[in-house]
Structure formats: structure tokens, C-alpha cells
Amino acid sequence: MVDMTTGLIAIGAGIAIGFAALGSGIGQGIASSAAAGATAENEKLLAKMLVFAALPETQAIYGFVIAILLLFVFGQ
Amino acid sequence: MKTEDLSKLLVFGSIQDKKEIISRLQHLGVMHISKADPSNQLVQDSPMQGVDVMSHLLLNLQYIAKQTNLDTSFTLEGLPPVEKVIEQANEFVEKHLGKVEDLSNEKKSLLRKHARILAQRSEIEKLPFALNHRVPSAHQRIVLLSENSVAGYPFPVKLKIQQEMKNQGQFFTEVFVLNKDLNQLHNSLRKSQSKQINLPEMPLGSVQFLHTLQREEKDINEKLDEIEKDFFRKINGKQSKIKFLITSLENYREQANITQKFLQSKNFFAVQGYVVKKDVQRIKNSFPETTIISMPADTKAPSKLKNKGFAKFFEPITTMFGIPTYSLIDPTPLVSLFFPFFFGFMLSDVGYGLLLLISIFAIYFQVGEKFKTPLIIFGTSAVSSIIFGMVFGSFFGNLVPITPLYQDSFSASFIILQVSLLIGLVHINLGVLLQIYQQFLKKTPLAKALQVTLPIPLIEGAVVLLLFKQYLAAIIVAIILLILLYREKGFFGIMDITGFFGTWFSYARLLALSLATAGVALAVNIVAQKALSLGKIGFVLWLFVIAFGHLFNFVLNIIGCTIHSVRLHYVEFFSLFYEGEGHPFKEFKIQRKMNGSED
């Protein structure tokens, strides 16, 4: 049986990564559509635009770091 | 780690020598010609007209088009612009010579096969007997050649001698040997003064094999005849001449365009450009009758990168962001180390690494040297993935069980997170060191250089002092830091502190992507395992899920790892020091060298 604290930590980790990924996904959608538009006008921009599209993923990484810290620092 | 040192050159010549000097400069191919600023005495030149040269080349191209009967529509009326002619000529080449080159390659491959068949036939025909005995299972047929009979020789392995015959003073012996004894037999052959005749595998005997070879040879000869007819009908030995004419057109176009950058007066003209320092004397020696002034390159100089060997292949990653500014840092050598490292760390799977390596070899054999650069970049990244896959014990997730050299990435995720952040710290501090070196190259005054380079070391210092509970020292360092940031960027300079942590934590993606690869692979394997329990159809489903699931994960992660490795360089690393505001060094040279391989 999982105790209450462990359960709350797991929920916290889920919220951390879940909302971070949600925000990151919305950001990535906006950035990617703009990048696709720019690439359609100038094919040479493809490489740079791929990087721009990947930029908002950083917020998801922060959420991921928090989730890992919650699980491994407080969860042990 | 910095761009090549250049010299600025000014070449002055008389108008009569202009064509000759341009042609010689093009053949030397060492000078980047830049647009000269007009002065009181010298005005901007105009592009060469060269009607005579153009007419000559056009007439030749039209003549060849008619002669080869390849394309009757290849006609150019009047004297169109040189770009139009080159465009049409290239279309002409692509349309017809491409096909001819394919035929030529097929011919080469057939000739290679033909040579192999001849070699095999000659070896078999040398034997004084036919090899008609069927090879028993787990055995191999070997034919030995020796001075004396091998019948009585004490070989360390058991040999079944099938037949032995003396021919021209030498003994030929057909023997069968167990597959497992092959190595031992090979080792003992040296002592017995016998040697093995290299023969292809012939499970149905040599007579049958010779028949097969003859059939193959006949097929190849028929195909070769067909190609010869097609090849000669289409090209009739004209392709090298067409290529030569296009090359001439392209070189002429370069010459015509480059004159726009010159300056000229009534009697003289001037060329301004940049050359690598060691080439200055070469140019001076090549133009003894011309006045050449050399001086140190200015800030408008182009950037010539001087990476060699392995690092050179990674230049496109650096230049995709921006060409290094002249005389400043070119970080390509570090990119060549960190890109494969990051990629491997994030993919970290032996199976996917091997798959990438196999794909690369397949592409290499299809397209050859043309795509060598991306193949080297991804080849080294694939090797790095295999190494990290072994460290974390991942081979298509847990599909192929291997013992990890360290631990699997799920069990050790917190440790790997710490390692990722440590790697990030090393990467960031390398960027800081490069910034210090850059300030030295730019000869920035010390106070200004400190203002630019100190904040990150001070943030790190303050954190370390806090960790060791040296609060007073940490506060002093923090105050110095805040003063520096305020003086450099005003109130919003404080954002640099949070910016540093943002940059640093961004390296956590090394773990994130590593876990994502392993996680999806694991999920695919679990789904496939469930399918296996569905009776007879289970195995087919298992195969389907494994093949498509891992292919999906492989493609997704190759794209992901590439983008994130590039991003860690562009956003986190380059932002610390890199000034990619240069423009490339382009030698004025012959555009395309003639290749006589098709002749």
C-alpha cells in the first residue's frame, strides 16, 4: 500500500511535468507554425527554424527537472 | 580555434593586361576578390562583354547537340545572357548525360562481375579433376596444392581425402574437413608446405558450377552489348566535350562577374582582395610585371576556417548559425567533440546506434562521397550512441538483454541528471573561457573585458560559497556581481543571474531525451510482449509491433537528438561568446575541374 506522502509526491511530480509540457506544447505549436511559414517563404531557413521550433521545449525540461527532484529527493 | 590570418592585397595593372591578369588570378585560385571602393582617380568597372568568347561557346554547344541527336530542341537564338546559356546547358547535361552516366556505372559493375567470373573459372579449370562429390553436412570442401602427397601427412585434424592427382609435378588433393576444424587446418597448412586453392563454394560440384558461370557470363555479355549500343548511340564520345564547354562557360561567367568589383581609370585597373598570408609571395611571384601592395587584413576581411581532419566535417553546424567573424573564434573543434557526445548521450541505445550506422553505410554505398559530411557527423554520433547504450544497457530498450556498464537510465536517472548538469557546467565554462580568449583577441581593455567575462564565474563562485556555508564571502561576491551587471546592462542586468540558471538547467535535456528514447522503446517491447500471448498470430503481431514501433522511435529520436544537440550549441554555448557575423572566404577560381572518367 502506498502511503499518503508518496502519493502526494507522485501527484506533485505529475502536475509539474504535466503543466510544463502543456505550456511547452502550446508554445511549440505557435513557434512551429511561424517557423513553417518562414520556411515556406525561404527554404534555407529550415535548419534554423527547426531549432526555433524546439526552443519552447525548455519549459518542459524545467518541469521534468522539478518532477525528478520531487521523486528522488523528497520521495526517497 | 580562430579563423585563418589573411593579408589584404591591391593589384594594379594596365588595361591591356586585364584579361590576362584575370585569367591568371582565376587559375591561381587563392584570392578572395572584394568590391573596391571608388576613388577620385579610379571608377567602378563594368562586367566584361566578351561577345566573341560567348559566340564561340554557344556555337560549339549547338553543334554538339545536333551531332549527338540527343536534343534537337537545344537552340539558342541570338546572344542570350550568359546565365541563360549555363542554365540551358546544365539542363541539357542533366537530362541526357545523367542517363549516360548511369549506363556507364552499370557497365562498370557488369565488367567487375565479368572479371570475377573469369577469375573463378580460371581457378576451377586449373584443377586436373572435377569436383563431383557432394559435401556432407557440417563439412567444407578444400582443394590443397602441395609438392608431395598429403595422404600420409599427420594433419592435426581429421581429413576425408576424396581424390588426389599429380599434375605438372604438383599434387592436387580434394578433401572434406569439418567446419569446426577449419582454423586448425589453416594453421597446420604452413608447416605441411601445402596451400589451399581459393575456390568458391560449390555445393553441387564444379561441373554444375561451371555451367552456372557460363550462363552468367552469357547474360553479362548480352547486357554489355546492349549498353554499348545504347551508350555509343547516345553519346558518341561527346560528353567530355560538352562538359568542357559548360566548364568554360561557368569560368567565363565568373570572370565576367568579377570585373564588377574592379576599379579602373583610362589606362589602369585595380583589384582589391584578401589572401592567406602564406600565399602573398606566390601571387607576387606570379605577377612580376604588376604592382602588388600587401597590407594587414582589415575588419571587412572574409573568414577562412582552418579546421583540418575530423573537425572540418562539423563546419556546417557552426556556419549554419553564422560564419565566424574574421580573426575571432571558430568553435568548430569543440562542436566536433560535443555534438556526437550530446547526440550519443541522448540516443544512448546500442540498437538504434547500430541501425543508424547501417543506414549511413547504405547511404554511403548509394551516393558515395557526395554526402560525406553528414555521413561523418551522424556516423560518429552513431558510435557515440552505441557506447552510451552499452553504459546504460539499452539495446532496443530491453529487447536484447545486455548488462549495463553502469546502470540502466531509469534506475540511475537522478545520478544521470547530476551528470548532465555537470556536463552543462563544463560546456558553459568552456564558453566563458572562449569569451576570455575572444576579449584577448579583440584587445578589449581589461576593465571592459572583466565586465563581460566575470558574471558567470561570480555566480558560480557565490553558489559554491553558499554550499560551503561561507555566507559573508558569498554576499560580497554577490554584491560585486550585482554592481558589474548593473554597470553593464542597468537594472535588468539582474536577469542574467536567472538566465544563467535557465541555461544550466537546459542541459537536463540530456537525461530527458535519454529517458524518452528508453521509455518509448520499453513501451514498444511491452506491447509486443502482450501480442505474443495471442496464439499463432501472436508472433506476426509481435514482429509487426517491434519493427514499426522501434522504427518510429528511431526516426523520432534521430530528429529529436539532432535538433537538441544543435540547440545546446546554438542557444546555450554560442550565446556565451560566439560572434557569427563574418562572411565566407571565396577564392576566385576555376569552378569545375574536368573529370575524364567518362571518356
Alpha helices in A1-76 (DSSP H): 4-41, 46-54, 57-69
Q: How confident is the model at residue B44 (pLDDT cuts 50, 70, 90)?
A: low
Give pLDDT tens digits for B235-290: 656 666 666 766 776 676 677 667 667 777 777 778 888 999 888 888 888 888 78
Q: What is the CA radius of gyration of chain A?
A: 17
Nearest Cα to Cα of residue B437 among B429, B364, B154: B429
Q: Are B594 and B240 in contact (CB under 8 A)?
A: yes
Give pLDDT tens digits for B516-545: 898 889 889 998 988 888 877 888 999 999
HSE-CB for B587 with a 13 A CA cutoff: 18
Q: How far apart are CA B138 and CA B37, in angstroms?
A: 82
**Mean pLDDT along residues B63-71:** 58
Please check whether residue A4 lies inside any domain of the structure.
no
Q: Which residue has the higher pLDDT, B300 or B599?
A: B300
User: From the list A53, A55, A65, which residue is nearest B505 (CB)?
Assistant: A65
Please check whether residue A7 lies inside any domain of the structure.
no
Taking residue B393's Cβ as centre, other Cβ atoms within 10 Å add up to: 21
Q: How confident is the model at residue B496 (pLDDT cuts 50, 70, 90)?
A: confident
Closest alpha carbon within chain B to A55: B567
* Mean pLDDT of chain B, nearest integer: 82
User: From the list A51, A62, A64, which residue is nearest B567 (CB)?
Assistant: A51
CB contact under 8 A, B509 and A68: no
The domain in which residue A47 lies consists of 13-74
Please check whether residue A6 lies inside any domain of the structure.
no
Q: What pLDDT score does A33 carry?
A: 92
In order of their start, the domains of chain B are 128-196 (3.30.70), 313-576 (no CATH)
Split into its structural domains, chain A has a count of 1
Question: Hey, of A9, A24, A51, A59, which one would you mutate to test binding to chain B, going by the most B CBs within 10 A of its CB?
Answer: A51
Of A49-53, B235-239, B354-358, least confident by mean pLDDT is B235-239
Please check whether residue A2 lies inside any domain of the structure.
no
- With a cut of 80, say whether residue B36 has pLDDT above it: no
Report the complex ipTM: 0.77
Please check whether residue A8 lies inside any domain of the structure.
no
Pseudo-torsion of CA B27, B31, B37, B43, nearest 10°? -10
Q: What is the DSSP letter of B2?
A: B
* DSSP output for B22-73: HHHHHHH---EEEPPPP-SS-EE------HHHHHHHHHHHHHHHHHHTS-TT
Instruction: Report how far Cα B313 is from the mean position of its chain's Cα atoms.
Output: 6
**Mean pLDDT along residues B145-168:** 81
Residues in A closer than 8 angstroms to B567, CB to CB, are 51, 54-55
Q: What are phi and psi of B142, to 5 degrees?
A: -135, 140
Please check whether residue A1 lies inside any domain of the structure.
no
Give pLDDT tens digits for B177-187: 888 888 888 87
Is A55 within 8 Å of chain B by CB?
Answer: yes
Percentage of chain B exceeding pLDDT 90: 26
CATH at residue A45: 1.20.20
Residues in B closer than 8 angstroms to A56, CB to CB, are none
What is the SS3 string spanning B110-129?
HHHHHHHHHHHHHHHHHCCC
Nearest Cα to Cα of residue B132 among B82, B176, B183, B188: B176
Percentage of chain B exceeding pLDDT 70: 83
Residues in A closer than 8 angstroms to B561, CB to CB, are none
| B547-563 burial: b if 16+ Cβ within 10 Å, else e | eebbeebbeebbebbbb
Please check whether residue A63 lies inside any domain of the structure.
yes
Please check whether residue A25 lies inside any domain of the structure.
yes
Q: Are strands B170-178 and B139-146 parallel, antiparallel or unpaired?
A: antiparallel
Q: What are phi and psi of B369, to 5 degrees?
A: -65, -15
- With a cut of 50, say whether residue B190 has pLDDT above it: yes
